[in-house]
Amino acid sequence: MNTMQTYIEEAEAALLHTYNRYQIVLDKGEGVYLYDIEGKKYLDFCSGIGVFALGYGNQDYNQALKEQIDKVIHTSNYYYNVPAIEAAKKLKKVSGMDRVFYTNSGAEAVEGAIKAARKYAFLKDGQTDHEIIAMEHSFHGRTMGALSVTGNPKYREAFEPMIGNIRFALLNDYDSVVSQVNEKTCAIILETVQGEGGVHPATEEFLQKIRALCDEKNILLILDEIQCGMGRCGTMFAWQQYGIRPDILTTAKALGCGIPVGAFLLTEKVAQASLAAGDHGTTYGGNPLAGAAINKVLDLFEQNHIIKHVASVGEELEKELNRLAEKYDCIKARRGKGLMQGLELDRPVAGIISRALENGLILINAGPNVIRFLPPLIITSEHIRRMLDILEPCLNDCSE
């Protein structure tokens, strides 16, 4: 039988080294816990980067997928399938949007959103020189289009030239956005809560001003809720707390709770005046298995009152993280919404995260100085207390 180290060595010999992985090999999950191949138990406050919202081993979810696998997994988009149709109806209901296009990932959802915005602008004036405004410190994915609107030069520089006509402004700095707007601007894209860039929520004033600006100038507002959506911030989508609606919405991660699926959603106005037959496509997107996953996820969100639960337990997590921020001088700030939280430290956090992992707690960073908390949405007060029991000694080390 292979040991942990043997598996790691085999992986490094066979896989392209594009990830600096933690030195554990995970084997199974149960509830909010993961286990490595040696049986060590880890409290998971990462949930596969915000994916496993319902936790591991949910039998209702698993059974729905098994039943669909036994029927049909894939048919292609040359044909209709019932799970995708039912999922689209439910997505429209919880989002308030009008049209759905299924993708395989969040990055692909962003790619589609960009294409929809540019096609919308092209149909207005027949020009192809339209511009998109994105935010500094944003993260939208690593495919070429998504990377082009990702506001971190270190991710882009080796792959230049990106797609053209992208300008960058600052989140929560309305004047910086206005300064980039001109007659060629066709869309503004931003994360309602920046994730990779340090867990920075948009302010209500900023987002409402951006919405008004877009309405005034006939600019499309694209909100990326791939990480902050699907209940994580205390409403199904974070923008629903701001009194506005986007023209295009991107979602993924917890949408399928482990099955690779994403989507971009459009208002009817944009859908009727942008992408048409032949403009965009996908082989796997919206296949019956993906549709079955979305259906069951949305059903379980409703049946288990997940949104209400997140609002309650998220408030408790915020309170405890605020307490840590007051207690430890090395913590500069607590930011976030609901169960998407970050602690900014005055130093790199890699060592703290590694020590926590050694003691059975899985955390991730958001930039070099921010610890990010993205637990399954089913965590309880007991799990928060257990997380703190492991994390605080690690913070004590950094405060000495």
* pLDDT digits 0-9 by tens, 65-120: 999 999 999 999 999 999 999 999 999 999 999 999 999 999 999 999 999 999 99
CA distance 91 to 299: 11
Low-confidence residues in the chain, pLDDT < 50: none
**174 within a domain of the structure (yes/no):** yes
CA distance 133 to 182: 10
CA distance 356 to 342: 15
E strands in 207-268? 220-224, 248-251, 262-266
**89 within a domain of the structure (yes/no):** yes
Please list, in sequence order, all residues whose beta carbon lies within 8 angstroms of the beta carbon of residue 25, skipping any fewer than 6 positions away: 4, 7, 8, 36, 37
**313 within a domain of the structure (yes/no):** no
CA distance 176 to 167: 11
Q: Which sign does the torsion angle of CA 310, 316, 322, 325 carry?
A: negative
Q: Is the pTM of this model over 0.95?
A: yes
| Beta strands 33-36 and 26-30, pairing class | antiparallel
Q: What is the pLDDT of residue 400?
A: 55
Q: Is 115 helix (H, G, I), strand (E, B) or coil?
A: helix
Domain membership of residue 107 as a residue range: 60-303
Q: Is 197 helix (H, G, I), strand (E, B) or coil?
A: coil
**114 within a domain of the structure (yes/no):** yes
The per-residue DSSP string of 263-317 comes to EEEE-HHHHTTS--TTS---SSTT-HHHHHHHHHHHHHHHHTTHHHHHHHHHHHH
**344 within a domain of the structure (yes/no):** no
Tokens 């939208």 correspond to: 140
E strands in the chain? 26-30, 33-36, 41-44, 99-103, 131-135, 166-169, 185-191, 193-194, 200-201, 220-224, 248-251, 262-266, 331-337, 340-345, 361-362, 364-365, 370-373
Six-digit token pair at 48? 């596969």
The closest alpha carbon to 392, from 346, 359, 348, 344, belongs to: 359
Q: What is the CATH number of the domain that holds 143?
A: 3.40.640.10
**247 within a domain of the structure (yes/no):** yes
Q: What is the pLDDT of residue 399?
A: 59
Q: What is the pLDDT of residue 397?
A: 73
**272 within a domain of the structure (yes/no):** yes
Q: What is the pLDDT of residue 319?
A: 98
**242 within a domain of the structure (yes/no):** yes
Q: What is the pLDDT of residue 2?
A: 85
How many structural domains is the chain composed of?
Answer: 1
